[in-house]
């Protein structure tokens, strides 16, 4: 397609010669937005269909425009048979939008979490079992979104509310709340159950993008951002501009918050250099910085030493904090 003489790259993709992104059967194609370029794309898709037998589904194929005149749009629609798409759209399960994300765009994530928790709630699990499921499944599902977007406060509140109700009981049933959610999210040696706090984990994964921009820059998105938005500047020199996307504005705010947490920019740079030497960002250490310092309780270590089963660790933690244990069924 790129070799076709009539094909022209999108103005913001020329330097990287970026023509498309593809994962499995999800394909995004970028071009100049003129009729010859679109026809070159369609010819390439038709050629691929002739060899593979796979054809684009017209009902799932859309064209998104920016700064294209109406008469050019009409010619493109007539030549391709496709229709104009509207923002937001979804790619690999996450929403794409050119403006600030609202809570409504995250309803698929909330629906998945509520569906899983609703099913598990009917299984009469122990508290320790519920903690394991929240840690392994829910936060695995949520991490995919947290690595791409800054979740709105309303979405974070809904996720924590759903997990809290699942752990301690639903609204319509008798609820025995042993612990506040902030204590639940502490580490085991700090008297908690090691459930990650959503906001702190979200900031950690987004800071990883900033770290990658400075030290690896292997993803196409980071390379594109360096070339077109920040003009090869160092990550520490970056400032949000009119061209900055909403996600980059969030990342730069998180960078500044990280600097505040560690004390100075010099200390932040030193930590980044140490981590770069090791070849990867220690997510748990960064999460601890965002989540806040909670000192280890010295008397918890001897209590938990040698305890392997999550149920036993859960019971010991409750007893150590003088929490009432009403029956074996509850535990």
Domain spans of the chain, in order of start: 20-86, 103-196, 200-291
CA distance 229 to 325: 57
**CA-based nearest residue to 159, from 107, 120, 203:** 107
Name the phi and psi angles at 83, rounded to 5. Answer: -115, 165
Closest CA to 7 of 46, 28, 45, 33: 33
For 2, 36, 238, 293, the CA distances from 5, given in Å and listed in that order, are: 8, 9, 37, 60
State the first-to-last Cα distance of the chain, in angstroms, to the nearest integer.
Answer: 62
Pairing label, strands 62-63, 94-96:
unpaired
On whether the CB atoms of residues 195 and 159 are closer than 8 A, the answer is no
pLDDT for 329:
47
**What is the rounded CA–CA span in Å between residue 201 and residue 150?**
10
Give the C-alpha distances (Å, rounded to integers) separating 283 from 72, 174, 275, 279, 326: 48, 37, 10, 12, 37
The reported pLDDT for the residue numbered 196 is 87
Radius of gyration over every alpha carbon of the chain, rounded to an integer in angstroms: 25
**Element at 168 (helix H, strand E):** helix 153-168
What is the spatial distance between Cα 212 and Cα 283, in angstroms, rounded to a whole number? 13
Residues of the chain with pLDDT under 50: 329-331
pTM listed for this prediction:
0.81
> 3-state class of 80 per DSSP?
helix
**Percentage of residues in the chain with pLDDT exceeding 70?**
83
166 vs 184: CA distance, rounded Å: 13
pLDDT tens figures, 279-308 = 888 998 999 899 876 666 665 666 566 665
Rounded distance between C-alpha atoms, residue 42 and residue 288, angstroms: 50
In this structure, the chain runs to a length of: 331
């Amino acid at each position: 397609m790129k070799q076709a003489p009539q094909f022209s790259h999108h103005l913001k993709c020329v330097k990287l010669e970026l023509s498309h992104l593809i994962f499995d059967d999800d394909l995004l194609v970028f071009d100049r937005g003129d009729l010859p370029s679109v026809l070159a794309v369609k010819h390439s898709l038709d050629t691929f269909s002739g060899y593979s037998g796979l054809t684009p589904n017209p009902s799932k194929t859309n064209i998104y425009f920016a700064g294209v005149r109406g008469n050019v749009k009409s010619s493109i629609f007539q030549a391709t048979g496709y229709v104009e798409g509207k923002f937001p759209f979804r790619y690999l399960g996450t929403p794409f939008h050119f403006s600030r994300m609202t809570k409504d765009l995250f309803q698929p994530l909330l629906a998945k979490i509520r569906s899983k928790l609703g099913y598990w709630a009917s299984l009469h699990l122990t508290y320790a079992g519920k903690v394991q499921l929240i840690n392994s499944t829910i936060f695995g599902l949520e991490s995919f979104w947290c690595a791409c977007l800054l979740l709105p406060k309303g979405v974070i509140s809904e996720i924590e509310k759903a997990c809290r109700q699942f752990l301690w009981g639903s609204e319509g049933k008798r609820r025995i709340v042993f612990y506040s959610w902030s204590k639940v999210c502490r580490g085991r040696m700090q008297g908690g159950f090691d459930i990650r706090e959503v906001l702190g984990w979200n900031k950690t994964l987004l800071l990883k993008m900033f770290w990658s921009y400075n030290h690896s820059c292997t993803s196409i998105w980071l390379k594109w951002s360096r070339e077109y938005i920040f003009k090869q500047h160092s990550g520490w020199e970056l400032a949000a501009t009119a061209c900055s996307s909403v996600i980059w504005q969030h990342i730069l705010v998180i960078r500044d918050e990280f600097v505040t947490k560690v004390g100075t920019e010099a200390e932040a740079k030193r930590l980044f250099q140490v981590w770069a030497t090791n070849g990867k960002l220690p997510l748990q250490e960064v999460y601890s910085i965002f989540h806040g310092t909670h000192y280890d309780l010295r008397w918890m270590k001897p209590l938990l030493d040698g305890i392997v089963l999550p149920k036993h660790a859960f019971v010991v933690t409750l007893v150590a904090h003088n929490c009432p244990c009403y029956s074996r069924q509850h535990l």
